[in-house]
Amino acid sequence: QKEVEQDPGPLSVPEGAIVSLNCTYSNSAFQYFMWYRQYSRKGPELLMYTYSSGNKEDGRFTAQVDKSSKYISLFIRDSQPSDSATYLCAMKGDSGGSNYKLTFGKGTLLTVNP
């Protein structure tokens, strides 16, 4: 079992839909949770960054972390064709420990159709 599991999709939605992307993880030492967006043939760019449990909102994007369930989510409201990309979850533990390396999920390929 990989430390971080993410459904690779693909996920196809109509413009304006609410998108839900999820990851599960097994390492309880993970404290920092991130979502990266990667357009085709480009490097990942950071979208959201959350520490421990809770919610964080930034415009149309909301990140949720439930450490008790080892489950993180990214919600995209009013999805746009420009949101079409691969979304990667990533997580790490505190620096200085053995879990300090950023561990990525496989990524979910999202297509938003006009």
Q: Write out the two tokens for 78.
A: 């009013």
Which part of the chain contacts another protein (CB under 8 A), choosing from 14-22, 54-62, 69-77, 95-103? Answer: 95-103
* Host H or E run for residue 27: none
Single out the residue of 18, 78, 81, 100 in contact with another protein (rule: CB under 8 A).
100
Report how far Cα 98 is from the mean position of its chain's Cα atoms: 22
Residues forming the site for another protein (CB under 8 A) = 4, 6, 8, 31-32, 36, 41-46, 49, 51, 88, 90, 92-95, 100-102, 104-107
